[in-house]
Amino acid sequence: MPAVKPLRVGLLGWSGIARRRIVPALPGSGCAVLAAVGSRGPAADRPPGVPVERYEELLGRPDVDLIYNSLPNHLHEEWTLRALAAGKHVLCEKPMGLSPASVERMMEAARAHGRVLLENLMFLQHPQHEVVRQFVQGGGLGELTAVRSVFTITLADPANHRFDPACGGGACADLLVYGAGTAQLFLGGDLEDLSGFRTMEGGVDVTADGLGRTRAGQVFSFTVSFRQPYECAYELIGTRGKARLERAYTTPPETSAQLTVQRDGDETIIALPKADHFAETVKLVARHVADPSLQEAYFKELRQRHQLLDQIRQATKPLRPDHVSSR
């Protein structure tokens, strides 16, 4: 069989995640190479020999097959549409769009231009979660009754664009997509009776807590925040025990994570496989480029995730900080 040419990647935005995680992941994927960087600034710390272009020129480069769009949230749709129209495949940083309608427009553009489009919700590609899912489905906790997702960080810089409503800021926009992905993974993602609260500052939610349930009565709950100490985990509760995975959404590639299982009064540690979930996501893109028929099933999952995010935003009540009791 002839060798498959690696995808030539152009970075749209010289963001921290692009520099720290995507650039190292490309050679590790075995199917992609860095071709160029699109930056409004000098991108002085780019890898040696990699050309830097303005955004528009990057999209016109014939030596770029795939655009990784890591611009701020409010620019995802515009530049993803422009990249697709320029004939590029796109891996867009999460959240792909700020509304289900925005995501639909991007999916329609991908179909119209015959290009591949994926959202960089990278944690879902880490093989550790499939191990956990199989453990739960195999009855390791008895009957699954509840799933809890938490992703909290402390952002101290008030100039951070995540606090800017004009940039699509907010804890729900930035962090809740991980919880929605977790709900899809373990509960199928079909939730009802959603409720909760969002603490607002300067026009964006900085903390949100909520819950919902499946038709079978399984409960999903979540916490996201820019105002709480770092916590990044999910918990699975069943009729015979519970399990918790720390750093579930930010597992370092060199780390073998551990699933802590408490069952029948005993605690067991299950070692999980190592992987770079950014490299695994690049591999997923390459599979879709090789077989575009994978896109429609993926689009169904993507649509459901963003509909769920919108349902949660609509169902959670915004509160001012002075209306929130001390924790």
Q: Which residues are catalytic?
A: 94
**CA separation for the pair 189, 180 (Å, rounded):** 7
Which residues, listed in sequence order, are joined to residue 92 by a DSSP beta bridge? 69, 119
Whether the Cβ atoms of residue 26 and residue 282 lie closer than 8 Å to each other: yes
Q: Any alpha helices (H) in the chain, and if so which ranges?
A: 16-17, 23-29, 55-59, 76-85, 100-113, 127-137, 171-187, 277-290, 295-315
Q: Tokens 């097959």 belong to which residue?
A: 65
**CA separation for the pair 81, 78 (Å, rounded):** 5
Amino acid (1-letter code) at residue 111: R
Other Cβ atoms less than 10 A from the Cβ of 246: the count is 14
Whether the Cβ atoms of residue 107 and residue 189 lie closer than 8 Å to each other: no
